[in-house]
Structure 1
Amino acid sequence: MATELKPIRTEADYQNALVEVEQLWGAKSGTPKGDRLDVLATLIDAYEARQYPMDPPDPIEAIQFRMEQQGLSRKDLEPLIGTRARVAEVMNRRRSLSIEMIRRLHEHLGISAEVLIRPTRGDEAA
Structure 2
Amino acid sequence: MNTVTITPIKTEKDYQNALQRIDELLLLDPAPYSELDDELDVLSTLVHAYEQTHYAIPYPDPIDAIKYLMEENGWKNKDLEQLIGPKSRVSEILNRKRYFTLQQILNLHKHLGLPLEIFINDKMPQIAKQNSR
1:6 aligns with 2:10: no
- Normalising by structure 2, we get a TM-score of 0.73
Q: Does residue 94 in structure 1 map to residue 122 in structure 2?
A: no
Amino acid aligned to 2:13: A
Distance 1:22 1:75 in 2: 48
- The equivalent of 1:62 in structure 2 is 65
Of structures 1 and 2, the one with the larger relative CO (CA 8 A, separation 6+) is: 1
Residue 120 of structure 2 is aligned to residue 117 of structure 1: yes
How far is 1:7 from its partner? 0.5
Q: CA distance change for structure 1 residues 21 and 103 in 2, over 3 Å: closer, same or farther?
A: closer
Does residue 74 of the first structure (1) align with residue 77 of the second (2)?
Answer: yes
1:7 & 1:33 partners in 2: Cα distance? 17
Q: Distance in 2 between matches of 1:49 and 1:43?
A: 10
2:6 corresponds to which letter in structure 1?
Answer: L
Note the C-alpha offset of 1:71. 5.5
User: Which residue identity lines up with residue 61 of structure 2 in the other structure?
Assistant: D
Distance, in Å, in 1 between the alignment partners of 2:110 and 2:49 is 31
Letter in 2 for 1:11: E
Write the deviation string for residues 51-108 of structure 1: whole angstroms up to 9, x where unpaired: 1223222221332354466664322101121222321221122221123322332333
Partner amino acid, structure 2, of 1:6: T
Q: Which runs of 5+ in 2 are unaligned?
A: none
Q: Give TM-score scaled by structure 1 length.
A: 0.76
Structure 1 or 2: more helix by fraction: 2
How far off is 1:49 after superposition?
1.2
Change (3 A) 1:39 1:55: same
Unaligned 5+ runs, structure 1 = none
Residue pair 1:14, 1:47 contacting (<8 A) in 2 also:
yes
Closer, same or farther in 2 for the Cα pair 1:11/1:90, shift >3 Å?
Answer: same
Give the alignment partner of residue 106 of structure 2, picking from 73, 92, 103.
Answer: 103
Cα RMSD (Å) of the superposition?
A: 2.8
CA contact (8 A) 1:59 1:117 kept: no
Identity %: 42
